[in-house]
Amino acid sequence: MGAPPPSPSATSHSPDSPAGVWARLAVLAGVAGIAALAGWYFLIPEPVENLRKAGEKALSDGGDVSSIALALEQRGRKTDALVLRAESALKRGDVRQALALAESVPTAESDGRAACVVGEALLLLGQASPAGERFQFALKNDPDNIRALLGMAAAWYDLGALVRALEPAERAAELDTRDGRALHLLGSIHLQLGERALGREKLELAAERALSPRQAREVVRQLMELELAEGRLDQAEGLARRLEGFPNPTPQEKALVAWLGELKADGEPEKENAYSALRAQAGQDPENPRIARWQGEMAMRQGKASEAVDPLEKAVRLEPQAMEPRHQLAQALERAGLRERAARARADLAVLEGRLKRLTELNSQVDANPLDPKPRLEMSEICGQMGRADWARQWAESAQRLGARAQ
C-alpha cells in the first residue's frame, strides 16, 4: 500500500512550508512583544503618590528615606523630597536640620506639611510663638489639619494660654477618634486649670486610644498622681504596677511610689522611710517642681511644717504661674508660726490670681484682633511680672513681628 496522505495540519504547518515559517515568526514576534511590554512596564516611573506613601511608611518604620526622596526629585517633586527629608530629620532628633530643610520650601508650594514640620521643630526649640504662626498658616489652607490643630494647641499650652489651647485640641480629638494625643493634651490642660474631674475623664479616654510609648507612660503617671491626690489608694496601686512595666523608672515615678507608700503606711517608721525615699528622689531631680511640691505636702502631713517651707518655695520658684504650691506654701508658713511671711504669700497668691484673670482677658483680645500687637505686649509684661521670662520673651517677639509687618 502507498503512504497515507499527509494530514491537513502537517501540510499547513510543515517547518519548511510558508505557513510554518509564518507561524514561527508569529511566535517569535509574540514573545518579543511580551518582552518589549515587560521592559516598558519596568521603565514606567513609579507614581508620585506611591512614592509619597512609601515615604510615609519608611518614616513610620524608622527607615531610610534617601532613595525615595531622590526618586521624588527625579520626577520633579522637589518640594515633596524636601519635606520627606525634613520629616526624617525631625524623627531622628536632628531638629535644626529639619528646620532648615522645611524652611527652604517655597511658601507658594507648601501644602501645610512643611509648615507643620517648621512649627514642630520650633516647639522643640522652645519658640512657641513663631511655631503657632506656622500652624495657623497650615490651618488657613486646611482647617481640619489634625497635625496643625495639635501643634496649635501645644503652642498655646507652651505660652500659658491654656483656655485658647482647648479649642484646637478638642477639634483634633473629634476628627480622629482613634488617636489619643489630643485627649492627652486636653487632660493636661484641664489639670493645669485645676479641673481635676475633666482632666481625669480626658486622660482615661486617651489611655483607650493610640499613644506612643512615651505618651502612654505619661498618661499612667498623671492618672496615678490624680488618684493619690484624691486618696484613691487601690487605683493608685494598680497604676503603680502599670508603671513598673516601663523601663528605667524616672525620679518622678519613684517619688510617686514613695508617696503611695507613705499614704499606705501603718506606722511612723514606714512613713519616715517613705519620706526619706521621696527626699532622695528630690535630690536626684532637684529642678522638678512636682517632686518639690510632693515633698512639701508629705512634710505637712507628717507635722513637719518648717521642713515643708523650703521645698514648697522651690516649687513656687520653678512654677511661678501655678496656684496650688503658693496656697500650700501659705499654709506651711502659717503652721510654722511665720505669720508675716504667710500673709505675704497669701497676698502674692491674690496678685497671681488677678494676673491670670487678666491674661485670659488679653487672650480674648488677641483672638478678636489678631493683628493688634498691644494685647501681646501687655501679656509679655504680665508674664515677666509672674516670673515666666520665657513666656514674656515670646509674647514680646510676637508683638514685634506684628509691628514689623504693619510698617
Please work out, in degrees rounded to the nearest 5, the angle formed at the alpha carbon of residue 37 by the alpha carbons of 35 and 42: 95
- For the entire predicted model, the pTM comes to 0.79
Q: Do domains 249-337 and 349-407 have the same CATH topology?
A: yes
Phi-psi region of 93 (alpha: psi -120 to 50; beta: other; left: phi over 0): left
d(Cα 393, Cα 387) in Å, to the nearest integer? 11
Between 3.40.50.150, 1.25.40.10, 3.40.640.10, 3.40.605.10, what CATH number should domain 249-337 receive?
Answer: 1.25.40.10
Domain extents in the chain: 249-337, 349-407
Q: What dotted CATH number matches 349-407?
A: 1.25.40
Spell out the residues 6+ positions from residue 375 whose beta carbon is closer than 8 angstroms to its own.
362, 365, 366, 369
Q: 199-247, pLDDT tens digit by residue?
A: 999 999 999 999 999 999 999 999 999 999 999 999 999 999 999 999 9
Q: Is 264 in a helix, a strand, or coil?
A: helix
* Helices within 209-250 (DSSP H only): 213-229, 233-243
Q: 238-283, pLDDT tens digit by residue?
A: 999 999 999 999 999 999 999 999 999 989 999 999 999 999 999 9
